């Protein structure tokens, strides 16, 4: 008995997921560009980055002169009656006006200077936070994209497998009708067919879920996605040694850098709160001018002007323990930041090691499953021949056929694990960028 031609074509294709979709389909970079425009998580990170950029000029403004202009104009209507002998009565109205310019220039404010240092570090930290969000988007897009491809592949396998089992079921029924097979063969083929139908339903449901996950990133349902090209050969990481990757992770991992900035900012916060005990010195100046027209008992006009410049010294003496409490709070938060930094370092080492071993394991898995697929295909051909000469049953062919599909699915998963682990390893050492995604995209069929 011969398997359907489309099953043979699917089973014998060494590179999986070849260009079976139309050339007009969207590739990995198309989806990534769309995600850059529409992903809410990245949009949030960008807005946060823009907001954080303003912290440095805000803090610097506290070190610069502060100049204010104020003015007032008042109309006054008065009446006074003093009970005396003789009574004194006065009444009238007059206007007064004035304008003032005040200015101050901080000379010695430790808290303000430390706050400016904090703000500059927060701006630098924001750059790494945005870079981490961009790396996260690359990972999410790649994982979701390949999840869709794998789900599509599983649907294709289920369809092809159902066609093959359907033919096996029809053959078993014909053999039973002519008396060359038992009802057992028919029942087994029917059971396998029903199982494959259920698997196809589950595979299509999984595909719908994966497409919905991709839609959540790009804001619309994707069109046909391009698959992996034919000349795809997984390779070990370069360098193929763990220690260099661990060293780079400690130095360049974005989460470690963000945590290092957080610790530096927390340390500066301690200095800022301790400076609450220190005096402040400001250079101050003012210019005030005003005048009056009219009077209560007689008309008169008057003007005045006052110019002052000096130095203002403020020395905290007693604040109810407020400063000491803020210092203790800042020290505790610095300890928390120190532990968070250590946690980030350990996580970076873990992710680098998992990524490195994951890439090597995936390379080995691809090679092993490739050999397993080839062996299963040979076994399938042998069982088909054995069935034709009567030494193998229909059930034997169905079992080996199931093994072929299982190994094909395992091989597809191993390929995708390799691709994702490669990206995760680069992310662990802080070097993942669009060029890596573009290099991966070139492996997709046009």
CB 158 within 8 A of CB 74: no
Measured in degrees and rounded to the nearest 5, phi and psi for residue 242 equal -75, -45
In angstroms, the CA 76 to CA 351 distance is 77
DSSP element (H, E) containing 333: helix 322-389
Structure-model confidence comparison of residues 13 and 238, the more confident one: 238
Output the pLDDT for position 139: 95
Angle between helix axes 394-428 and 183-218 (nearest 10 degrees) is: 20
Q: What is the pLDDT of residues 9-62, one digit of tens each?
A: 333 343 444 334 344 578 899 999 999 999 999 999 999 999 999 999 999 999
Average pLDDT over residues 69-74: 94
Average pLDDT over residues 313-336: 95
Phi, psi for residue 219 in degrees, rounded to 5: 85, 10
Q: What is the predicted pLDDT for the residue at 298?
A: 56
Task: Give the pLDDT score at 436.
Answer: 92
d(CA 256, CA 125) in angstroms, rounded, equals: 11
Q: Mean pLDDT of all residues in the chain? A: 86
Q: 259 in helix, strand or coil?
A: helix
Domains defined along the chain, listed by start: 5-63+109-278+316-441 (1.20.1600.10), 64-108+279-315 (2.20.200)
Asked whether residue 174 carries a pLDDT value surpassing 80, the answer given is: no
Query: What's residue 1's pLDDT?
Result: 39
Average pLDDT over residues 183-200: 81
**Are the beta carbons of 205 and 154 closer than 8 angstroms?**
no
How many other CB atoms sit within 10 Å of the CB of residue 265?
Answer: 20
């Amino acid at each position: 008995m011969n398997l359907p031609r489309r099953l043979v074509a699917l089973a014998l294709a060494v590179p999986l997921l070849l260009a079976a979709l139309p050339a007009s389909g969207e590739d990995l970079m198309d989806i990534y560009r769309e995600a850059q425009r529409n992903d809410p998580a990245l949009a949030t990170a960008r807005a946060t980055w823009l907001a954080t950029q303003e912290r440095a000029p805000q803090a610097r403004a506290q070190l610069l002169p502060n100049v204010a202009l104020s003015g007032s104009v008042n109309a006054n209507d008065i009446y006074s009656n003093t009970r005396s002998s003789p009574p004194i009565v006065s009444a009238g109205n007059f206007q007064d006006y004035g304008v003032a310019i005040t200015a101050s220039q901080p000379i010695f404010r430790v808290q303000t200077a430390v706050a400016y240092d904090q703000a500059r570090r927060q701006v630098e930290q924001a750059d790494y936070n945005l870079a981490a969000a961009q790396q996260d988007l690359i990972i999410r897009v790649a994982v979701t994209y390949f999840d869709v491809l794998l789900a599509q592949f599983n649907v294709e396998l289920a369809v092809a497998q159902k066609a093959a089992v359907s033919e096996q079921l029809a053959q078993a029924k014909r053999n039973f009708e002519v008396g060359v097979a038992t009802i057992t063969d028919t029942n087994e083929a029917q059971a396998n067919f029903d199982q494959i139908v259920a698997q196809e339903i589950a595979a299509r449901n999984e595909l719908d879920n994966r497409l919905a996950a991709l839609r959540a990133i790009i804001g619309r349902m994707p069109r046909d996605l391009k698959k992996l090209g034919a000349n795809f050969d997984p390779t070990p990481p370069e360098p193929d040694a763990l220690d260099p990757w661990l060293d780079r992770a400690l130095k360049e991992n974005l989460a470690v850098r963000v945590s290092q900035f957080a610790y530096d900012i927390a340390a500066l916060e301690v200095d800022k709160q301790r400076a609450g005990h220190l005096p402040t010195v400001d250079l101050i100046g003012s210019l005030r001018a005003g005048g009056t027209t009219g009077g209560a008992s007689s008309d008169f006009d008057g003007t005045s002007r006052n110019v002052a410049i000096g130095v203002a010294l403020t020395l905290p003496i007693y604040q109810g323990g407020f400063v000491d409490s803020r210092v203790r709070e800042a020290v505790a938060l610095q300890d928390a930041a120190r532990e968070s930094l250590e946690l980030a370092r350990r996580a970076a080492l873990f992710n680098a090691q998992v990524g490195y071993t994951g890439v090597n394991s995936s390379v080995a898995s691809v090679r092993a499953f490739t050999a397993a697929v080839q062996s299963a295909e040979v076994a399938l051909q042998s069982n088909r021949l054995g069935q034709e000469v009567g030494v193998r049953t229909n059930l034997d062919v169905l079992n080996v056929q199931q093994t072929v599909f299982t190994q094909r699915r395992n091989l597809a998963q191993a390929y995708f694990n390799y691709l994702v682990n490669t990206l995760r390893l680069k992310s662990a050492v802080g070097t993942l960028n669009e060029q890596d995604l573009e290099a991966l995209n070139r492996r997709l069929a046009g």
